[in-house]
Structure 1
């Protein structure tokens, strides 16, 4: 994902002179091409993320389009006050790009885990929250973010993620889910780079005769309410899947929409897959963390099977 981001950023920088890149002391070699082409529009702000966010807000309010980039906890939690007051309060069109979201940096410990960031950023007025599933959605999200006149948060994985789409989805738009698989019994609503696991779950369920729809809900704020309404109306079970905590993420957003809109749960209920309401304290890489947290494809499928069989509550 991060390589696709750097490449797309360079292409967009070639055609949009407003684009300015701010880095929080990482990715210097990653952005060599951008820096070589646009040396006056690349700034390494160092290990000073709060300052970087203030600079980004000032640039945005001066008519430029800054992109602020670093590892997820450091571009969100560490500078949340600056995002809230400098960026969101002034409706400054800053693009905040986080790398290594969720448990992508699981092996580096809790300082690098990011399972609360959607909740933090989604709660801020005016903020768009986008979680692409693969490199192609990253490119599409960056293009779409540049068309916004408000702040946008793009939450990426790290590297080596499987490609879901064959190319940039032509129908990509912020706030509009992408249908990856069609089905009418179970709907798996996924956000971010956990989608490959969700597709493995869909395959396992299909092998047992279940019709499974898979949605890439890349934008958590604003939600695609129309897509949710269709899924709730026709599917027996709807499940949300995310590498994020139980509070404030995609699952919470969907259940808030249910309550606010008066939408009834589907017959089999709503199942939420997430990292729970606890810090992940074990040592291991992302695959190990997902297995421990019940977020692998086979675990998702097994739990859905139990719900469909009436052996487990949603």
Structure 2
């Protein structure tokens, strides 16, 4: 249990949340009604490492007294067990008044980054700490400002994080390689630009690269009766997986390109710790992928 010296407020910051509880907001709400009437709960599901509870969130009580009782509570093991959970603890801290900035300012981000160690920085962990400081979640609009500040004012932070991720990258299982897939119709202008950059990236790291470029009508014929070109990725992925020639098959959209050509895909694979499916997470409040064999990575790593 942790606390800080901020002025008492009806909202508390909850960290070290097991992913199963972070995904079950009704249960989270019920647990905290032990301390007082709860107005709302919000959770950020982070499931990068199976043995570490990285999810976090906020609980807002109707009265500050409820928040105070939650912060001072000690028998979390008993309360969680009574709720059908095997977890033994949570970290609950008081929050100061919620930030009045609708979108976080660059000055606020710069100040927060002054406390960060470049050698150990990663966006997801920073996002949780910064949200606690703001007493509200850091969302997409804030993340865009943070990333801009990182590029302009703290290039050491992003560089060190990239180098560390590359250093920690694991070997692909079974000695099999990695296949990077993409596709686009011939009338799609960004396709060639992105293909060139991504093919260069694949060659740099020794990955196989396949790109299908077809007239739009032929692409639709290939996936009939589907009538949306996005289904062509499913066709390509199924073919590649059925062939069984690669340890990992990676899809990249035709309008996306690899900016950091130095960082290998093995860095994300290593973080996934053997999971079957790795998905890039969109920076939204909720995300549909939260299964035990699915790993979400954030593009701001």
Instruction: Give the number of the structure whose alpha-carbon radius of gyration is greater.
Output: 2
Larger RCO: 1 or 2 (CA < 8 Å, sep 6+):
2
Return the TM-score normalized by structure 2: 0.29
Return the TM-score normalized by structure 1: 0.28
